[in-house]
């Protein structure tokens, strides 16, 4: 099968699944319940941070990603 897009309901959604789908080259399209309660995470603050501040949950831990990169690729 040539998977181009993966769909799931709310219980199948995690940040890790988003990342794995991206690493494997296909889209992840979850149907997410309670979307307004979800938070976004950024690498660096942006100039529009004030507008987005209610949606932001924090910064991405780049050090943790770097330290775990070999394991992430092994999982993918």
- Three-state secondary-structure class, residue 49: helix
Check whether 52 has a pLDDT greater than 80: no
pTM over 0.75: no
- DSSP secondary structure code for residue 46 in this structure: -
**Residue owning tokens 């319940």:** 33
10-34 per-position pLDDT tens digit: 777 777 888 888 888 888 888 878 7
**Which residue, among 18, 2, 9, 8, has the nearest Cα to 76 in the 3D structure?**
18
């Amino acid at each position: 099968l040539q998977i181009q897009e993966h769909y799931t309901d709310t219980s199948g959604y995690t940040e890790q699944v988003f990342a794995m789908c991206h690493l494997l080259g296909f889209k992840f399209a979850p149907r997410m319940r309670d979307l307004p309660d979800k938070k976004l995470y950024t690498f660096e603050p942006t100039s529009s941070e004030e507008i987005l501040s209610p949606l932001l949950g924090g910064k991405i831990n780049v050090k943790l990603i770097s330290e775990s990169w070999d394991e992430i690729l092994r999982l993918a």
